[in-house]
């Protein structure tokens, strides 16, 4: 195994969390380097695209979360070897990035009224539409996993995002949103959560 | 080879163009289904995430452009088999998606003054910063290609985007922007353009 160091914020969600869970499930040793915001700001210009996560593999720096997830998925037997199944796994991870790009602009709104209006606009349209589309893709493949008929990094990516919605990480987005519009994604979330290694990671 | 149908708009750029170029270079036969905007609107709800491109592989629908590029790259010998090089290829493709997400909101602004201000704000900061970071990644790997020491789908992705900037596809973004801030990306563009199959595709 190469020497692996994952650098990300000290939070249990968002873009760096999927690789941590994959390492956990695969039983692959890595350095879990957690940065606070001051560390990040001080080191930001040294990161390839000024952002986290980054993964260092024997010193080679890899940026961009889904490429990291894919690499870690290969190491940890959580990425399909079949090319079509791999593409379906990729599709799912990129879909979550797409919706994250819709939500991101609302994270930095300082005016609370403006943030509330922006979040409510997401709840009125884009989020339910996306949740239904994502659920339809899952259901079309049998309803259990997004690719390869087994747990892959795609499932971890969806799990981390759905978990954040259910926990109410986004103010003004009801924690019942997923259950209302996409119950199969709640069942999917609970399927991943039932894995003892996943639960242990959070507990 | 599977039966392949790529569906995208009838334009020579943006998210569906990379797969077309990869098919061209790989000499792999595919159906190049081109939709006008009315076709797209009529069929939008049938696409997994309401968007194009999609690729059908023996009838299985794959959405999300970079997953499609990766799948086509594997078929056409334009994707690294080494996992670290693959991750660097992925990093580059996702970086272009990141910057596209910064530009996208300005595409649909109807007020010309507002569009001008938004584009000028991109030119003042985010675009030069991104171009310099992208160029630094290329230069750190020798300056010729983004991964694997040879042409991959990452190079095609960068080429299509740089080409659009150089052609002035975005009003209020100077066509000299890349040359000013990232001359190594102009050289990279010209290296891809020098491929006779690429040039033939456009001519």
* B184 and B130 within one domain: yes
Question: What is the ipTM, given to two decimal places?
Answer: 0.96
DSSP codes joined into one string, A33-80: EEE-HHHHHHHGGGSTTS-S-EEEETTEEEESHHHHHHHHHHHTT-S-
Confidence at residue A139, expressed as pLDDT on a 0 to 100 scale: 98
Radius of gyration of chain B measured on its C-alpha atoms: 17
For residue A45, what is the nearest residue in chain B, using CA coordinates?
A: B133
Q: What is the rounded average pLDDT of the residues B94-98? A: 97
| Angle (deg, nearest 10), helices B17-26 and B153-166 | 130
**Cβ separation A91–B57 shorter than 8 A:** no
* A103 and A59 within one domain: no
Q: Is B180 exposed, middle or buried (0-12, 13-18, 19+ CB in 10 A)?
A: exposed
CA distance B96 to B117: 22
Q: What are the chain A neighbours of B55 within 8 Å (beta carbons)? A: 87
pLDDT > 70 fraction of chain B, expressed in percent and rounded? 100
Is the Cβ–Cβ distance between A103 and A115 less than 8 Å?
A: no
Residue B44 covered by a domain: yes
Query: Nearest CB to B91: which of A64, A91, A136?
Result: A64
Pairing of strands B60-63, B54-57: antiparallel
CATH number reported for the structural domain that contains residue A112 in this entry:
1.20.1050.10
CA distance A135 to A146: 10
Which structural domain, as residue segments, surrounds residue A126? 83-202
Render pLDDT for B117-159 as a digit per residue (tens, 0 to 9): 999 999 999 999 999 999 999 999 999 999 999 999 999 999 9
* Closest by CA position to B96, among listed B72, B73, B66: B66
Is the Cβ–Cβ distance between A144 and A168 less than 8 Å?
A: no
* A53 and A126 within one domain: no
Q: How many domains does chain B have?
A: 2
Residue B201 covered by a domain: no
Half-sphere exposure of A90 (CA within 13 A, CB side): 28
Residues of chain A falling short of pLDDT 70: none
* A137 and A69 within one domain: no
End residue of a domain, out of A26, A52, A75:
A75
**Cβ separation A133–B57 shorter than 8 A:** no
Confidence at residue B150, expressed as pLDDT on a 0 to 100 scale: 98
CA A158 to chain centre: 6
Token reading at A11:
């939070």
Q: What are the chain A neighbours of B63 within 8 Å (beta carbons)? A: 91, 95
Residue B126 covered by a domain: yes
* A196 and A100 within one domain: yes
Residue B131 covered by a domain: yes
End residue of a domain, out of A20, A55, A75:
A75
Query: Nearest CB to A101: which of B68, B101, B136?
Result: B101
**Cβ separation B74–A63 shorter than 8 A:** no
* B29 and B67 within one domain: yes
* A25 and A51 within one domain: yes
* Closest by CA position to A153, among listed A203, A192, A102, A112: A192
Confidence at residue B77, expressed as pLDDT on a 0 to 100 scale: 98
| Angle (deg, nearest 10), helices A112-124 and A126-140 | 40
CA distance B136 to A144: 42
* A63 and A103 within one domain: no
Render pLDDT for B45-92 as a digit per residue (tens, 0 to 9): 999 999 999 999 999 999 999 999 999 999 999 999 999 999 999 999
Sign of the alpha-carbon dihedral angle for B177, B181, B187, B193: negative
* A153 and A90 within one domain: yes
For residue A2, what is the nearest residue in chain B, using CA coordinates?
A: B84
* B52 and B103 within one domain: no
CATH number reported for the structural domain that contains residue B40 in this entry:
3.40.30.10
What does pTM read for this prediction?
Answer: 0.97
Render pLDDT for B153-195 as a digit per residue (tens, 0 to 9): 999 999 999 999 999 999 999 999 999 999 999 999 999 999 9
- Give Cβ neighbours of residue B170 (< 8 Å, ≥ 6 apart): B103, B106, B119, B164
Interface test with B, best of A49, A135, A139 (most B CBs within 10 A): A49
Q: A88-121 as b/e, with b when 16 or more CB fall inside 10 Å?
A: bbbbbbbbbbbbbbebeebeeeeeeeebeebbee
Residue B202 covered by a domain: no
Asked if A129 is an interface residue toward chain B (Cβ–Cβ < 8 A), one would say: yes
Confidence at residue B121, expressed as pLDDT on a 0 to 100 scale: 96
**Cβ separation A98–B130 shorter than 8 A:** no
Is the Cβ–Cβ distance between A190 and A158 less than 8 Å?
A: no
Residue B100 Cα, gap to closest chain A Cα (Å): 11
Interface test with B, best of A5, A15, A52, A64 (most B CBs within 10 A): A64
Asked if B71 is an interface residue toward chain A (Cβ–Cβ < 8 A), one would say: yes
* B95 and B56 within one domain: no
* B101 and B140 within one domain: yes
End residue of a domain, out of A40, A75, A110:
A75
């Amino acid at each position: 195994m190469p020497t692996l160091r994952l650098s990300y914020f000290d939070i249990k969600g968002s873009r760096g969390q999927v690789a941590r869970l994959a390492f956990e499930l695969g039983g692959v040793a890595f350095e879990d380097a957690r940065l606070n915001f001051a560390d990040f700001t001080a080191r930001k210009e040294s990161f390839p695209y000024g952002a986290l996560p980054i993964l260092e593999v024997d010193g080679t720096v890899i940026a961009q979360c889904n490429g990291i997830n894919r690499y870690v998925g290969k190491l940890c037997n959580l990425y399909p070897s079949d090319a079509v199944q791999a593409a379906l796994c990729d599709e799912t991870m990129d879909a979550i990035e797409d919706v994250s790009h819709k939500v991101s602009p609302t994270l930095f709104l300082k005016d609370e009224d403006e943030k509330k209006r922006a979040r409510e606009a997401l709840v009125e349209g884009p989020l339910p539409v996306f949740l239904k589309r994502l659920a339809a893709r899952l259901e079309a493949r049998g309803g259990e996993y997004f690719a390869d008929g087994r747990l892959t990094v795609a499932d971890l990516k969806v799990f981390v995002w759905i978990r954040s919605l259910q926990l109410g990480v986004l103010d003004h987005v009801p924690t019942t949103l997923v259950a209302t519009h996409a119950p199969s994604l709640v069942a999917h979330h609970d399927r991943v959560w039932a894995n003892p290694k996943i639960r242990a990671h959070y507990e």
